[in-house]
């Protein structure tokens, strides 16, 4: 079978060639988080001919995303499309031969295994350490390599974890406390420029391509870059490997995969709290009650949006976002009052 002409330039690169393109065409990659990093990952991998791209994200497109999140449009924001749905539409228009699977869910300890099982590689597009710890434990349990990346202001970093040919390297849990992987700042508080996101995504996706084509060429250091000051570093983390690590040590227990109770957390955006239920809610039943009580709302196949001073959006995967407050206790009270209607 002749090669799709879209990959001719890729195949001419001496480190890839035709055999490399064929391996990319057979690969399955999961992207967790489809915002500023993840959307760029998805575009690059789709254009590179990855055979199956699995998109996982809990959010929908908003106008504030467009400054830094590629492919999304004003029309996507106006329609409040879930990011995975909007991305699939755009990616399919770019390369119809890549299979795109979408999951509009909040990744947690009780669903991540089903989301990544059978994949060849996981790419990080998330924005918080707690979720990355879940990814870390799940990937080590399932023996799947994963590529970490983060960016804020003009600074970013990336590292490859669980690479098969380098089992002497530490996992994310091993280096906690030794490397500043997360600060109290967020993109909404201190901002971010798109070029650093593009750069970190380029690093992550290049490492992904190497994994399928030439694994021995994969970087073995934590790479950091401040674009504004043009300062980069490559840090060897081998010494941080811990034999008793509960994730990658001799007797792993994978603590981040323990099942959680109902949980709530402040979100990166302005004035909102996310609540995650153990079991999904019956949104159709709740909407009927809202209609009877004359409560203003919007209902579609993706979410139930209840208007008011504290707008609440409920998703069918058992997740809610309470707007207008950063107080977790207040958000939980408002949420419970709504759930009590059922």
Average pLDDT, the chain: 90
Q: Which residue has the higher pLDDT, 191 or 241?
A: 241
User: How does DSSP assign 210-273, residue by residue?
Assistant: HHHH-GGGS--SEEEEETTTTEEEEE--GGG--TT-TTTSSS---GGGSPP-SEEEE-SSSSEE
- Asked if 161 and 146 count as a contact pair (C-beta separation under 8 A), the reply is yes
Name the nearest CA neighbour of 268 among 21, 59, 81: 59
| pLDDT (0 to 100) of residue 269 | 59
Q: What CA–CA distance (Å, rounded) separates 167 from 145?
A: 11
What is the pTM (predicted TM-score) of this model? 0.84
Instruction: Reply yes or no on whether the pLDDT at 184 is more than 60.
Output: no
**Given this model, what pLDDT does residue 163 score?**
93
Ranking 27-36, 228-237, 250-259 by mean pLDDT, the lowest is 250-259
Residues 6 or more apart whose Cβ sits within 8 Å of residue 294: none
Quote the percentage of the chain above a pLDDT of 70. 94
Angle between helices 36-47 and 83-94 (to 10 degrees): 20
According to the model, what pLDDT value does residue 144 have? Answer: 97
Q: What is the pLDDT of residues 86-105, one digit of tens each?
A: 999 999 999 999 999 999 98
Looking at per-residue pLDDT, the higher value among 273 and 17 belongs to 17
Q: Report DSSP letters for 312-338, one per residue.
A: EEEETTTEEEEES---HHHHHHHHHHH
Sign of the CA dihedral running 117, 237, 57, 24: negative
* Partners of residue 101 on adjacent β-strands: 54
38 pLDDT more than 70: yes
Banded pLDDT at 337 (limits 50, 70, 90): confident
- The answer to whether residues 274 and 216 touch, using CB atoms and an 8 Å cutoff, is no
Q: Which residues pair with 299 in a beta bridge?
A: 304
pLDDT (average), residues 214-219: 95
CB 148 within 8 A of CB 57: no
Q: Grade residue 168 by pLDDT with cuts at 50, 70 and 90.
A: confident
Please report which residue ranges of the chain form alpha helices under DSSP H.
Answer: 8-12, 17-25, 36-47, 74-78, 83-94, 112-116, 129-142, 187-190, 194-213, 283-293, 328-339
Does residue 183 have a pLDDT over 60?
A: no
Angstrom distance (rounded) from CA 279 to CA 314: 13
Chain Cα centroid distance, residue 136: 13
Which CATH number is 5-257 given?
3.40.50.720
For 113-167, the pLDDT digits (tens) are 999 999 999 999 998 888 999 999 999 999 999 999 999 999 999 999 999 878 7
Q: How confident is the model at residue 166, as a pLDDT? A: 80
How confident is the model at residue 270, as a pLDDT? 60
- At residue 219, the pLDDT reads 95
- Give residue 147's pLDDT: 98
pLDDT tens by residue, 250-290: 999 999 998 666 677 777 656 788 888 777 778 888 888 88
Which fold does the domain 264-340 belong to in CATH? TATA-Binding Protein (3.30.310)
- Per-residue pLDDT band for 249 (boundaries 50, 70, 90) equals very high
Task: Return the closest-CA partner of residue 220 out of 149, 175, 170, 177.
Answer: 170
Residue 341 pLDDT: 75
Question: Which helix (H) or strand (E) is 342 found in, with range?
Answer: none
Residue 258: its pLDDT value, please? 85
Give the pLDDT mean for 183-197: 73
Is the pLDDT reported for residue 177 higher than 60? yes
272-276 β-sheet, strand order = 263-266, 272-276, 319-323, 312-315, 303-306, 297-299
Q: What whole-number distance in Å separates Cα of residue 12 and Cα of residue 24?
A: 14
Domain boundaries, the chain: 5-257, 264-340
Yes or no: say if 108 and 260 are a contact pair by the CB < 8 Å rule. Answer: yes
Least confident of 81-90, 272-281, 317-326: 272-281
For residue 298 the two structure tokens come to 């919007």
Phi-psi region of 143 (alpha: psi -120 to 50; beta: other; left: phi over 0): left
């Amino acid at each position: 079978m002749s090669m799709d002409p879209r990959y001719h330039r890729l195949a001419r690169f001496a480190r890839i060639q035709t055999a490399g393109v064929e391996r990319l065409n057979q690969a399955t990659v999961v992207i967790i988080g489809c915002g500023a990093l993840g959307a760029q990952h998805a575009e690059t991998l789709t254009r590179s001919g990855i055979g199956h791209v699995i998109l996982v994200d809990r959010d929908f497109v908003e106008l504030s995303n467009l400054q830094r999140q590629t492919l999304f449009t004003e029309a996507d924001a106006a329609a409040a499309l879930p990011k995975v749905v909007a991305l699939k539409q755009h990616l399919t228009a770019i390369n119809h031969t890549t299979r795109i699977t979408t999951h509009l869910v909040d990744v947690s300890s009780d669903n991540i295994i089903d989301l990544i099982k059978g994949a060849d590689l996981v790419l990080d597009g998330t924005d918080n350490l707690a979720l990355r710890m879940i990814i870390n434990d799940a990937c080590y349990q399932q023996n799947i390599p994963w590529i970490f990346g983060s960016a804020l202001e003009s600074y970013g970093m990336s590292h490859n974890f669980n690479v098969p040919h380098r089992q002497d390297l530490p996992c994310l849990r091993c280096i906690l406390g030794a490397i500043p992987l997360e600060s109290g700042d967020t993109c909404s508080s201190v901002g971010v420029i798109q070029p650093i996101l593009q750069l970190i995504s380029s690093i992550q996706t290049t490492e992904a391509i190497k994994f399928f084509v030439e694994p021995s060429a994969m970087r073995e250091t934590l790479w950091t870059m401040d674009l504004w000051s043009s300062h980069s570093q490559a840090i060897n983390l081998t010494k941080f490997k811990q034999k008793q690590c509960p994730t990658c040590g001799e007797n792993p227990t994978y603590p981040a995969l323990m099942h959680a109770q109902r949980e709530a957390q402040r979100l990166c955006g302005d004035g909102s709290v996310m609540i995650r239920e153990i079991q999904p809610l019956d949104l159709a039943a709740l909407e009927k009650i809202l209609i009877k009580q004359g409560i203003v709302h919007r209902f579609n196949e993706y979410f139930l949006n209840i208007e008011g001073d504290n707008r609440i959006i409920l998703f069918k995967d058992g997740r809610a976002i309470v707007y207008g407050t950063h107080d977790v206790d207040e958000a939980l009270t408002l949420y419970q009052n709504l759930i009590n209607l059922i």
